[in-house]
Amino acid sequence: MSTESRTSAAPAKSPAFRWDAADAYLFDIDSTLLYARDGIHYNAFLNAVRQIFALRANVEGVPLHVRTDLAIIRAVLRREGVPDAEIDAKLPLVTAAMCAEVERKAAGMHPELCPSVEEVVKRLAAAGKLLGLATGNLETIAWKKLEACGLRPYFAFGSFSDHRESRADVVRWGVDEARRRLGQEASVYVVGDTPADIEAARAAGVPVIAVATGIFSLEELKSYQPDVCVSCCTELLELAPWPCYGP
């Protein structure tokens, strides 16, 4: 579920760190790759909760930008007094309803790419990097967003929230999958726009590139000490000459 952008200031980076040297990259989606302002994802959530739980719930007060879809659903339902046992029993019905609605309405999705994302993704792909997703979105919804903005062909796999409620687990599974494909010595970088992305990358033991294209400012993200922190992907293109370094 998407957020608006807030940018500016000079990039923070370690002089020894080459952001373009990894074998594989795991990208968050909302406010990292794109902005989805059409409301289709959000409305699918509201409608699914109404259909399965007969509740007219909202997400007021729930921090969407740092939680997975499963965690958002659970937080909203707990606030409405639904016990965890009932949530667990009906959660697959909610996610299935959400995905079905997004598939039906996919033609109405019109995401906007974050600055210079398309160029970064294309150049990494051309340099032979393995690109994947590490997102709190459900799988069907994630791929529909990427199809709608034209990025789907560049991504080989993804780690989603269908079966992983915490962002740390999403990233950890993505790292494991990248290394399953490339070998256990493969280097993997995470790209995200929130402190949760930074913390999840740290928990997985991999470097992280933070982009201030979401609701967190550059200074806020820098305080979590990512390996690189930029206002947007345009600055990534300015940090190193092309073609990419690495194998």
Domains and CATH numbers, the chain: 12-36+111-239 (3.40.50.1000), 40-108 (1.10.150.240)
Over residues 97-104, mean pLDDT? 98
Neighbours of 68 (CB within 10 A): 22
Neighbours of 50 (CB within 10 A): 13
Q: Does position 84 have pLDDT exceeding 70, yes or no?
A: yes
The whole-number pLDDT of residue 23 equals 98
Distance CA 119, CA 36 (A): 19
Query: At 155, which amino acid appears?
Result: F
Distance CA 129, CA 132 (A): 10
In this structure, of 25-39, 62-76, 87-101, 159-173, the range with the lowest mean pLDDT score is 62-76
Distance CA 105, CA 121 (A): 26
Q: Does position 152 have pLDDT exceeding 80, yes or no?
A: yes
